[in-house]
Amino acid sequence: MTRPAFLLLTVVACALGTATASACGCGLDLAAALGATVLAVIAHAAGNVLNDLHDARNGADATNREGIYPFTGGSRLIQNGETSERETADLVKALLMLLVPGGLLLGLRGGGGVIVLGLAGLLLVWAYSAPPLKLMSRGLGELTVALAWFLVVVGADYVQRHQFFVIPASVALGFAAMVAALLLINGVPDAGADRLVGKRTLAVKLGPTGAWALYTGLTLGAHAWLLLSWWLLIPPTPALWGLVSLPLSLFASAWLFLNRQRPARLRPALAATVAATLLHGTGMAAGFAWMGWNH
């Protein structure tokens, strides 16, 4: 229910933010980096569990017969009778009981900005699934997750640097666009069920062709932004390792276009999108880490 494999997205985001600070000569506070990563992963896990809870309550997962596990359709633990809504809600509370005091401790160590970023992240986690906002059902889910992962990268940098800076914000923007594209393509197989229960996700609103167009714009835009920001002298040249994800994004876009009316055949595009997102962040992180190592 916490989607362990997808938690890698948050680990990579934290590694990217930590590496941008290291490359700028801020050193490496390993304890703070590990603490920030653990807390961000717990927040991500809580968001996934909360999403399962509310998709059970609104009927989306019960209605969904076209989900492509493990990418879409929820964990189905509630629907299969392996757990209850009450136990799921208790798990969310337990994760929050770990997260809040841990975040306060990290804030005492890393400055007030950490607490501000953490609170903003928690707000996004709650607003994504829970009423009355339930942003995922209003076509704002992609924007919400983009903002959340933007904050993760910037926050991981802030924990090391103790101030905000333009370079982590720049690379976070591209990574956030890749995460938004991942959510968008994951919504395509679920669109039929979501439409039936009144979830107006972007995949529902745009339809298959519109979802493909936006997906392509987000993924190509993320890579184009990395090139443009490098040309503007924001990130250093080693950050261009993030471009290694471009072939996978192009493949996923082509596969999505060819199979946009046959969502059951989208598994290769979903897997390629996950791999591209991880590679985009890991490539940039590796470039920054190499710079930090050679400082």
For the whole prediction, is pTM greater than 0.75? yes
Where does the chain have alpha helices with state H?
A: 8-23, 30-57, 60-63, 85-110, 112-129, 141-161, 166-196, 202-231, 246-258, 267-293
pLDDT at 295: 67
Domain assignments of the chain as residue spans, ordered by start: 4-293
Q: How far apart are CA 177 and CA 204, in angstroms?
A: 19
Instruction: Express each pLDDT in 169-209 by its tens digit.
Output: 999 999 999 999 999 999 999 999 999 998 999 999 999 99
For residue 83, the 8-state DSSP code is S
Give the lowest-confidence range in 69-83, 86-100, 174-188, 280-294.
69-83
Instruction: Express each pLDDT in 125-150 by its tens digit.
Output: 999 999 999 999 999 999 999 999 99
Instruction: Express each pLDDT in 230-262 by its tens digit.
Output: 999 999 999 999 999 999 999 999 999 999 999
Tokens of 217: 């714009």
